[in-house]
Amino acid sequence: MFVLMHVIHLLTVILWIGGLAFVTIIILPMAISTKDSLQKVLTFQRVEHRFASLARIFNVITGASGFVMLYQTGWHRLLFTRGAVPLTFMTMVWVFWFVMLWGLEPLVIKKMLEKMIKGEEKMDIDAVFIKLNRMHWFMVAISLAAAAAGALTAHGSLLF
């Protein structure tokens, strides 16, 4: 059971964070370099919309498999202790993602992109994309850090 959870955890993380990196490294620069504002927003919105739904599923599977492993090992008792910094960090990044994907993305980002497309509000679209770009790089960085923390947890450095 533990090995199965571990494999599911790892494969889901690959799909999820790999997809995020693809959007950040390939799709966003493509959208940013598009001159026409409507095309710029549409290019990004189509990809983001599809990926966000998948990311929500990946987030739940990663969390569920992670928490099962946590209780199987009894490591839940170590959370928030000095000895389990990588484990706690990985869990906190997951919580951040949970809030982003289930709260902020559908309530704020999706609506903002729709308003941009309809032209309902005057917005500096280039400035918004600079912010989106920075936010995506930040999310890639903390997600890779969480993956590194996972490897430390799995391969013997649970206790610092």
Interface residues with ligand HEM (CB under 6 A) are 6, 9-10, 13, 17, 62-63, 66-67, 69-70, 75, 90-91, 93-94, 97, 143, 146-147, 150-151, 153-155
Q: How far is the CB of 18 from ligand HEM (least distance, A)?
A: 11
- Please state, in angstroms and as integers, the Cα–Cα distance from residue 81 to each residue in 71, 73, 75, 93, 142, following that order: 16, 16, 10, 16, 20
Q: Which is nearer to ligand HEM, 12 or 45 (CB)?
A: 12
Q: Which is nearer to ligand HEM, 34 or 96 (CB)?
A: 96
Q: Which is nearer to ligand HEM, 75 or 140 (CB)?
A: 75
Q: Which is nearer to ligand HEM, 99 or 151 (CB)?
A: 151
Q: How far is the CB of 148 from ligand HEM (least distance, A)?
A: 8
- For the CA atoms of 132, 137, 140, 145, the dihedral, rounded to the nearest 10 degrees, stands at -140
Q: How far is the CB of 89 from ligand HEM (least distance, A)?
A: 10
Spell out the residues 6+ positions from residue 5 whose beta carbon is closer than 8 angstroms to its own: 65, 68, 69, 72
Q: How far is the CB of 39 from ligand HEM (least distance, A)?
A: 32
Distance CA 125, CA 69 (A): 43
Query: Cα-atom radius of gyration of the chain, to the nearest Å?
Result: 18
